[in-house]
Amino acid sequence: MKRFQELSHAFLKYFDTAHFPDQPSGLYDAASYMLGAGGKRIRPVLCLMGNELFANIHADAWKTATAIELFHNFTLIHDDIMDKAPLRRGNATVHAKFNESSALLAGDVMLLRAYGYLNTTESHHVQMLISQMNEVGRQVCEGQQMDMDFENRESVPLISYLQMIELKTAVLLAASLRMGAFIAGAGEDDQRNLYAFGKNLGLAFQVQDDWLDAFGDPEKFGKKTGGDIIQNKKTFLLLKALETADASQKKDILQLLEYTGADKVDKMLVLFSACGVDKAAQTAQKRYFDQALADLEQIRIPPERKIPLKEMAAYLLQRNA
Amino acid sequence: MKRFQELSHAFLKYFDTAHFPDQPSGLYDAASYMLGAGGKRIRPVLCLMGNELFANIHADAWKTATAIELFHNFTLIHDDIMDKAPLRRGNATVHAKFNESSALLAGDVMLLRAYGYLNTTESHHVQMLISQMNEVGRQVCEGQQMDMDFENRESVPLISYLQMIELKTAVLLAASLRMGAFIAGAGEDDQRNLYAFGKNLGLAFQVQDDWLDAFGDPEKFGKKTGGDIIQNKKTFLLLKALETADASQKKDILQLLEYTGADKVDKMLVLFSACGVDKAAQTAQKRYFDQALADLEQIRIPPERKIPLKEMAAYLLQRNA
């Protein structure tokens, strides 16, 4: 049984290969640039961990992990085009570095390549793996559309936001684990519980991300805080605040959304705290995290095999296991 | 054995079903709009014809035909975004009707859905069909990138242009036929010859398209001619003219590319004829067409079974069979 960091290191080595031909360079340079820009490779490692939870790591788990990472990068390239994002992880996004057309096409070939890897798994695995990839692909697209729709809506219920982050973020973490478990021959109940573990972990992670962007320590968080507030992003915090605020607080929040002064972030944080959404986010995150651990508990496997997943969850959420 | 028109009619009925859920509507309305905008559905019918050439039509041929049509529409949606095209078949393109983000995402879900259909074919078909779809997908993306690259290049060798249209257009026609033949259990040689038939037919069709846009009868062609010349599009005619023109003709052509007067088209047509590219295009088209028929000839099947494909080829190229 290997820990997250060990598998992460092993995957980085495995993944560090040419996934594309050279020509036409306008297309493949864009694709390779994206893959060279790094990232934590969490999803493929989850696939490997889901596999190793039940058995020694199968060759198909490595192929599937590769497909998952390519799929994830396809979504990032296309999302960045849609969001007109200039930067990702401090580097120029693909469309900013090249152009929108090459980025669009690079995303397309990356998705095709992901199916290419899945299609080389053993014949008794292929259909189930592709079916799971199709399902998660549809869900991620739906989540992205909801996210864009929300930007143009005046009010969004918190429950719709949670549904959106489940589709856009959590299901891919969940499906990565389940695909690994499927390859290991895990039973349906165990697969379902592992999927639930991943989904709840993903929700906890996303709520934490919203919290960190507002209340986190910039040094530990690795980026400037307050970005979501400056952009009026509809986060867990803002939506929860709008739902729990009294009439006067709500008026203040809505006014602050129009405000662009340098102290906008500080003023909003005061309001967030006054509405108790600071605590509410931490409570929600803990609830998802605890549910994830309860889901993991249900899996009929000796407890010691679950240690790497517990450690990984604690690591992702910067909590004590 | 059914004729192209009969199978086309049957496919239209089969395809006329809900391929997507309703929500989020911003995503699926865009996808459904594209599919509702019609089109000749040539590629799926080729899949059915490739199947029926060797056997009664198999249920998997219908599924694969559906996947091929969805795949083709995915490429059209994304190509229209890249080309910033306002119209397709006289209707607003998806990104013009909705917006670029929803169009991009609608293309993505359409590609995913295509794999969904392929994945429901019989288990001994799935891997080969997905492998062929992956290959043609990569080729179409490469062709599109080459097409975009050519726009920014001052000169493009005719041979590179032919390679581009092979990738962007011809291989999908070829692969559609071959996937149908594969499902029918055709031998490898027969599959290869049928693929070559489709590829050469596609090349003939594309060269004809270039010719018709310049020299066609607008009434029969169904759209205004001269559009390629007005846009300085690097077509077979222009590239061939630049390769065969003498120094003085070449100077005239290059000057005409800068010219925007109302008689630009007429002037260019005179130059094209003077360089003999009118005839050269017809010769090239006939050569591809004859090669396609020779490829079809090679297939070890009684000649009468090949009649529908011959009729279809003649119909597509408006030639006598």
Give the residue-averaged pLDDT of B224-235: 91
Helix (H, G, I), strand (E, B) or coil at A85: coil
What percent of chain B is modeled with pLDDT above 70?
A: 98
pTM of the predicted model as reported, rounded to 2 decimal places = 0.95
Residues 6+ apart with CB under 8 A from A245: A252, A253, A271, A275
What are B298-309's pLDDT values in tens digits? Answer: 999 999 999 999
Q: What is the mean pLDDT of chain B?
A: 95
Give the residue-averaged pLDDT of B116-144: 98
For residue B279, the distance in angstroms to the closest alpha carbon of chain A comes to 32
Q: Search chain A and give the residue with CA nearest B120.
A: A127
Cα separation, B89 vs A296, whole angstroms: 54
The more confidently predicted of residues B113 and A90 is B113
The three-state (H, E, C) secondary structure of B32-72, written as one string: HHHHHCCCCCHHHHHHHHHHHCCCCCCHHHHHHHHHHHHHH
The more confidently predicted of residues B172 and B219 is B172
Asked if pLDDT for residue B321 goes beyond 50, the answer is no
B213 touches B235 (CB < 8 A): yes
Asked if pLDDT for residue B151 goes beyond 70, the answer is yes
What percent of chain B is modeled with pLDDT above 90?
A: 91
Asked if pLDDT for residue B219 goes beyond 90, the answer is no
Determine the pLDDT at residue B320: 44
CATH number for A187-321 (one of 2.40.160.40, 3.10.580.10, 1.10.600.10, 1.10.10.10): it is 1.10.600.10
**Beta-sheet pairing, B87-88 with A91-92:** unpaired
Determine the pLDDT at residue A279: 96
Cα separation, A87 vs A97, whole angstroms: 10
Size of interface A-B (CB pairs under 8 A): 110
Confidence of residue A320 (pLDDT cuts 50, 70, 90): very low
B318 to chain A, any CB pair closer than 8 A? The answer is: no
Same fold? A1-185, A187-321: yes
Can you state the percent helix, strand and coil of chain A, rounding each to 5? Answer: 75, 0, 25
What are B189-201's pLDDT values in tens digits? Answer: 999 999 999 999 9
For residue B185, the distance in angstroms to the closest alpha carbon of chain A comes to 19
Determine the pLDDT at residue A321: 40
Cβ count near A182 (within 10 Å): 25
Determine the pLDDT at residue A217: 83
B244 touches B275 (CB < 8 A): yes
CA-nearest of A17, A170, A25 to A105 is A25
Whose structure tokens read 């400056």? A230
What percent of chain A is modeled with pLDDT above 70?
A: 98
Partners of residue B105 in chain A, C-beta under 8 Å? 78, 82, 141, 144-145
Residues 6+ apart with CB under 8 A from B57: B48, B51
Determine the pLDDT at residue B221: 63
Weakest-pLDDT range from A33-37, A297-301, B213-217, B316-320: B316-320
A71 touches A78 (CB < 8 A): no
For residue B161, the distance in angstroms to the closest alpha carbon of chain A comes to 13
Asked if pLDDT for residue A3 goes beyond 90, the answer is no
Burial of B168 (0-12, 13-18, 19+ CB in 10 A): buried
Displacement of CA A203 from its chain's centroid (Å):
9
Asked if pLDDT for residue A319 goes beyond 60, the answer is no
* Core vs surface per residue A108-134: b (16+ CB within 10 A) or e: bbbbbbbbbbbbebeeebbbebbebbb
A102, A104, A137: residue with CB nearest B104: A104
Most B CBs within 10 A among A76, A108, A142, A161, hence the mutation to make, goes to A108
**Cβ <8 Å between A115 and B126:** no
Confidence of residue A312 (pLDDT cuts 50, 70, 90): very high
Asked if pLDDT for residue A154 goes beyond 90, the answer is no
Q: What is the mean pLDDT of chain A?
A: 95
Determine the pLDDT at residue A37: 87
CATH number for A1-185 (one of 1.10.600.10, 3.30.565.10, 1.10.730.10, 1.10.760.10): it is 1.10.600.10
Helix axes B100-118, A100-118, angle to 10 degrees: 20
A81, A113, A127: residue with CB nearest B123: A127
Give the residue-averaged pLDDT of B137-146: 98
Domain boundaries, chain B: 1-157, 187-321
Rounded to the nearest 10°, the torsion over CA B201, B203, B206, B210 is: -130
Confidence of residue A38 (pLDDT cuts 50, 70, 90): confident
Determine the pLDDT at residue B217: 83
The more confidently predicted of residues A113 and A321 is A113
Determine the pLDDT at residue B40: 87
What are A72-123's pLDDT values in tens digits? Answer: 999 999 999 999 999 998 899 999 999 999 999 999 999 999 999 999 999 9
CATH superfamily ID and name for B1-157 = Farnesyl Diphosphate Synthase (1.10.600.10)
Determine the pLDDT at residue B164: 98
Determine the pLDDT at residue B218: 77
Determine the pLDDT at residue B319: 57
**Cβ <8 Å between A105 and B130:** no
Give the residue-averaged pLDDT of A239-265: 96
Determine the pLDDT at residue A298: 98
Residues 6+ apart with CB under 8 A from A25: none
A100, A131, A142: residue with CB nearest B27: A142
